[in-house]
Amino acid sequence: MQVSRVLVVDGNRASRDALVTCLQFVGVEAHGAEYAIGADGWLSNGDPDVIVLCDEAAAGGIAELLQRCASRPAEPGVPVLILARDGGRVPLPANYPTFELLRRPVPVSHVVERVESLIDRRRLTNRERLNFGALSLDLANSRAEAGECALRLGRIEVRLLAFFMGVPDKVFSRAQLLRRLWPANVRVEERTVDVHIRRLRSALEELGCAHYIQTVRGSGYRFSRLPD
């Protein structure tokens, strides 16, 4: 699998280095730069999969970088995660296709989860089908299939199932699922996760695959073919 590339543009060296280190720890090729213009050498090997941009570092070539990413004919612009303090502004090109905003201060672990979410989302735009055990997910048509049976899923259930199928056997808390699967600017309660898990389980039950979604008492949920 190709390693994802993330550019972190932050004028604060300590926070920049901390985020780059955490991203590298989860297997991402991360590069830090004080200004976008200082990342020219690294960017010569191709566009990043995600740009993390702090509003204090919005000068120094970032507008030109984003304009270049937005103009790629084969795919939408590189997702941008903006870390901004109240009143902070970032010069995004008009109608830039994909960006999210997190208000600082924010734990670095939350930033890493949002970066992973944007990477997952971008990856799925280039996939038509996911497979796991007896289950197949047709992303283009929002359909779950097993053998001769098929049914259509809701938008959030598709996103939830696609995420689970990509990270089998790993336990996620409700809070982690919220941060990974819901946009950063949307405020929802943890019980929302339970509602969509129930809906997804009910759908998979019709396909004989509900046992893949396992509740881990006191921890959250995992997606696995292993016994509970």
- 186-212 average pLDDT score: 89
Segment holding 23, helix H or strand E:
helix 13-25
User: Poorest-confidence range of 24-38, 88-102, 114-128, 138-152?
Assistant: 88-102
State residue 73's pLDDT score: 46
State residue 43's pLDDT score: 74
Both structure tokens of 166: 């990509």
3-state secondary structure of 38: helix
Share of the chain above pLDDT 90, in %: 22
- Dist CA 133 CA 117 (whole Å): 24
State residue 71's pLDDT score: 55
Residue 83: pLDDT above 80? yes
- The type of residue at 227 is P
State residue 145's pLDDT score: 92
Query: pLDDT, tens digit, for every residue of 137-147?
Result: 988 788 999 98
3-state secondary structure of 222: strand
- The type of residue at 173 is S
- 152-175 average pLDDT score: 88
Both structure tokens of 92: 């995004």
Share of the chain above pLDDT 70, in %: 79
State residue 62's pLDDT score: 65
User: Poorest-confidence range of 16-20, 91-95, 137-141?
Assistant: 91-95
- Dist CA 60 CA 132 (whole Å): 45
| Maximum alpha-carbon separation in the chain | 56
State residue 1's pLDDT score: 47
| Ordered domains of the chain (ranges, CATH) | 5-123 (3.40.50.2300), 128-223 (1.10.10.10)
Q: Is residue 135 a contact partner of residue 144, using CB atoms and an 8 Å limit?
A: yes
- Give 222 or 66, the one with higher predicted confidence: 222
Average pLDDT, the chain: 81
- 48-68 average pLDDT score: 71
- 160-185 average pLDDT score: 85
State residue 74's pLDDT score: 46
Strand 29-33: give its sheet, edge to edge.
29-33, 5-9, 50-54, 80-84, 99-103
- Dist CA 190 CA 71 (whole Å): 38
Both structure tokens of 143: 């359909």
